[in-house]
Each structure stands twice: as C-alpha cells, then as structure tokens.
Amino acid sequence: MKHYIIPIFVPHKGCPHDCIFCNQKKITGQYKEITSNDVEDIIYEHLSTINKNESYIEVSFYGGSFTAIPLSQQNELLAVAKKFLEQGKIDAIRLSTRPDYINHDILNNLKSFGVKNIELGAQSMDDDVLKKLCRGHTSEDVKNASRLIKDYGFNLGLQMMIGLYGDTEEKDIKTAEEIIKLQPNFVRIYPTLVVKDTYLEVLYNNGFYKPLEIDEAVNISKKLYKMFVKNNIYIMRIGLQVSEDFTLGKNVVAGPFHPAFRELVESKLLNEMIESIIHNYFSETDIVNITVSNKTLSKIYSDKKKYFFDMLKQIDSKKIVIKQDNALETFEILFETDEKRKNMSLFEFISNEG
C-alpha cells in the first residue's frame, strides 16, 4: 500500500508567538485564508490522481498550530475531511499543532471529527533552548500534551529540531531521550535552517548564531536515527520538505540544507554498517560480494558516493564487489564469500549494536 498524504496548508493568521526560526509573517502574507470549499477542492483534486485500492490516504492539516485557530474554523475544515472519511474515500486525518494548545475540550472535539494522528512541535526538551527560541511553552507542556493525546487514543507524533540557537549535540541527544520516554508513534527530525526575515537571521548576520555544517547535522541525525530505531519509533521525516521557494539562496539564508537530507543520513548509516561487517565477520584475504536492491544501492551511493568513498578508505577497497538483486528488501544487505554468508538489514544491525 502506498501511503498518500493530501496536504492542506492552514495559514496561521496572527499566531501569538514569535519563534525566532519562523517567518510566519511571510507565510501568512503569502497564503489566503482557507475555506471548507478549498479543502473539498484540494481533496477531490488529489483523489482524482490516486488509485484508492492501492493507497492508504490521509488528509493532513499542516502549516502551524491547527488547534490554535478559532474552533469554528477548525470545525469547518474538519467537517469536510470527516465527510470523505465516512464515505471511505480517505483513510485518516492528521494535523500538527503546539503542545500548549492541547486540552480535554480540544481532544474531545478532534475525536468527534475522526482525527487519528496528532503531531506536536516539541522542537527541544531543553527549557533554556525553548526560552531562547521564544517558543512560549516548556518541556513540561510537551510531556503533558503528549500523555493526554495518548490517553485519548490518538497516534502521537513529535517533531524535534537540531542545531537550534543555544543548542548542543548533548541537548539534542537529551531531547531525543525525553521524546523516547513519551513513546510517540512517530517522530520528525528537522535540522535548523536560517530562514529569511527571521530573528535567527539577525542573530546569524551579527555572528551570534552559527548553524550546523551539513556533516555535523548528518552526524547528529545519525545518532538520533539509531536511538529511535532501537526504541521502535518510526522516523517519518528527516529534513524539511523542499519547495520551489524553500531552497538555499532563496528563502533559506544558511544552514545544513540538502534536498535529500534523509538520504545522506541513511547513506552514512549503510556505509558504516558495511564497514563494520567487513571488519568483524570477514578476514583480510576474503573478497566479499555485497548484494543489495537498487533502492538500497542508490542510498549507499547517495551524494556522489561521498560516504561510500569514506567507507572504502576504511577497508581495503579490493575486498568488496557490489551486486544488485531487487528481490532483497530496501536496507537489506547480503554479504557473501565462497565459505561465508551474512544477511542483515540496517534496522537489525542498529538494534544489535551495544
């Protein structure tokens, strides 16, 4: 089944907060207010291109803090999605919001419209960082909201950012540990980018903020990836969605921007796995055949084979021969010599690590 998301952008008019990395003025200025007719049109437009029998279809309200907009507007938009849900034309409704806009009344209302997944922008679980970001909520708010969402039986998603103003790698790891304790169903990891017309841009231009380099962001994300995999938490996304406006040099001023950031992280992990298995399971004289699917190979070779070449430097490059077999699962790697055979997926490898 292909997971298909129908995105509905709900511009957050007059968000009372001013997070230093967000340029909500630009966002709210760019988009007109959305109506129930718009929602209906968007859903129909997407459905006309989807094969329902082969797809799991979710309508997703995103673009800020859904439950912070007036209740009447929330209900107007949700009613349309609910209609499609009841008709069996879509399978689920999801939305994202802030942790301080979750309470019993809000959750009861969302339940009545059949919402399934609620994502909270946690960003950090370090209160000093949250204060520096002017988020307007604390880590305790994230914990309370998360527990409540789970108590009500919704699927919980938590979003975190790395490389924030006032952040360190240790704080990012600590944030991931706190998130794991809350047992979300899924997470998203966003490396912080300096976006045009934000206070973060001012800090950056005046030398008070230094964004992560791309390698640093990949390294931290790699560690978080392993932590979430070990704890069976699904990683829905790593890195921001790229749009025409949202590219380096346009609205992104600086930071670890890459159009396929997740691929970089997975490439690094796959190449480290190959290196470790070659070192630990095979002898100096072995010539090891490494078989992977096309999809896995493109991950291994990601970013002009950057991490692949790093891995070759660590082993004797003559020792491996890469082969392709699409019968293998994505992330599954088969290592073979005439005498030895080892088949392992990246997730197994991560889970078995100490």
Using CB under 6 A, list all residues that contact ligand SF4: 12, 15, 17-19, 22, 24, 64-65, 98
Query: Minimal distance in Å, beta carbon 138 to ligand SF4?
Result: 14
Question: Do 110 and 154 contact (CB within 8 A), yes or no?
Answer: yes
Whichever of 245 and 316 has its CB closer to ligand SF4, that residue is 245
* Identity of the residue, 98 or 188, whose beta carbon is nearer to ligand SF4 in the bound complex: 98
Least separation in angstroms between CB 15 and ligand SF4: 3
**Element at 165 (helix H, strand E):** none
Q: How far apart are CA 185 and CA 117, in angstroms?
A: 9
d(CA 125, CA 164): 12
Q: Which long-range contacts (CB under 8 A, 24 or more apart) does 316-322 make?
A: 316/284, 318/287, 319/278, 319/282, 319/286, 319/287, 319/288, 320/274, 320/278, 320/287, 320/288, 320/289, 320/290, 321/287, 321/288, 321/289, 321/290, 322/290, 322/291, 322/292, 322/297
- Quick one: CA torsion of 144, 146, 152, 154, rounded to 10 degrees? 170
Would you say 252 or 322 has its CB closer to ligand SF4?
252
Q: Please report which helix (H) or strand (E) contains residue 317, including its range.
A: none
Q: Among residues 185 and 198, whose Cβ is nearest to ligand SF4?
A: 198
Task: Tell the smallest beta-carbon distance from residue 184 to ligand SF4 (Å).
Answer: 19
Question: Which residues are CB-contacts of 49 (< 8 A; sequence separation ≥ 6)?
Answer: none
Residue 65 beta carbon to ligand SF4: minimum distance, rounded to whole angstroms:
5
Nearest residue (CB) to ligand SF4, 69 versus 148: 69
Task: Give the shortest CB-199-to-ligand SF4 separation in angstroms.
Answer: 10
Cβ nearer to ligand SF4, comparing 26 with 305: 26
Task: Name the amino acid, one letter, at 81.
Answer: A
CB 129, min distance to ligand SF4, A: 14
